[in-house]
């Protein structure tokens, strides 16, 4: 079985199951929207978008990360920084496709998961299952739920409970920590 075939199978069954498990009874009315996400992700994989497995950890030295990332990407992904609100061109990205980690290329979100939150950062109401690990961040005194790439441990942003249905989550992501792959793109 190829990596792509394995990932396709995991996402086809696992994406729906994982997302369904997060829905409250009131959100179950939005099931058709969630089913649409699963179908569209299958279409992206069928279109030839290649993806690395999240189990392939990427560990590099500080020097290797500095060569791989520009200064802004390094600050956000490796030093848990934050880009200025409204600075990312990905805020306006509306094409079908996949948002990947700028550090390692792991798929994190599909375009169907993106919405306009008005915060100035790319925001998503769901993430691809298994794409992130989380931890509690006390940098602003009150606890926040920080998330980082499961493959390279790069910091991406924080997840909040003020998002839209069907999940009620807002994955607030730094744009410099993402790369966008349009649906018909092979890179």
Query: Where is average pLDDT lowest: 46-50, 69-73, 81-85, 161-165?
Result: 46-50
Among residues 101, 149, 152, 172, the one annotated as catalytic is 172
**What domains appear along the chain, each with residue ranges and CATH number?**
3-182 (2.170.150.20)
Q: Categorize the per-residue pLDDT at 40 as very low, low, confident or very high, splitting at 50, 70 and 90.
A: low
Looking at the whole model, is its pTM more than 0.75?
no
- For the cut 90, the answer to whether the pLDDT of residue 32 exceeds it is no
CB within 8 A of 91, min separation 6: which ones? 120, 121, 122, 175
Identify the pLDDT of residue 83. 95
Tokens of 77: 């992904």
Residue 71: its H or E element: helix 71-79
142-147: long-range contacts (C-beta < 8 A, 24 or more apart)? 146/80, 147/171
- For the cut 70, the answer to whether the pLDDT of residue 179 exceeds it is yes
Q: Categorize the per-residue pLDDT at 6 as very low, low, confident or very high, splitting at 50, 70 and 90.
A: very low
Residue 26: its H or E element: none
Is residue 172 among the annotated active site residues?
Answer: yes
Euclidean distance between CA atoms 57 and 39, whole angstroms: 28
Q: Are 128 and 174 in contact (CB under 8 A)?
A: no
């Amino acid at each position: 079985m190829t990596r792509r075939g394995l990932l396709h199978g995991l996402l086809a069954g696992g994406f729906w199951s994982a997302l369904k498990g997060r829905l409250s009874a009131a959100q179950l009315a939005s099931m058709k929207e969630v089913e649409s996400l699963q179908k569209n992700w299958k279409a992206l994989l069928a279109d030839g978008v290649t993806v690395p497995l999240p189990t392939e950890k990427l560990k590099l030295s500080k020097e290797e990360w500095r060569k791989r990332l520009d200064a802004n990407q390094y600050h956000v992904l490796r030093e848990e920084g934050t880009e200025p609100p409204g600075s990312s061109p990905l805020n306006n990205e509306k094409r079908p496709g996949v948002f990947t980690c700028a550090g390692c290329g792991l798929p994190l979100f599909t375009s169907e998961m993106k919405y306009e939150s008005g915060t100035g950062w790319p925001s998503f109401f769901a993430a691809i299952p298994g794409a992130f690990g989380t931890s509690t961040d006390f940098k602003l005194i009150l606890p926040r739920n920080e998330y980082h790439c499961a493959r390279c441990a790069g910091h991406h942003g924080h997840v909040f409970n003020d998002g839209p249905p069907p999940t009620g989550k807002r994955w607030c992501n730094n744009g410099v920590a993402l790369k966008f792959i349009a649906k018909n793109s092979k890179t």
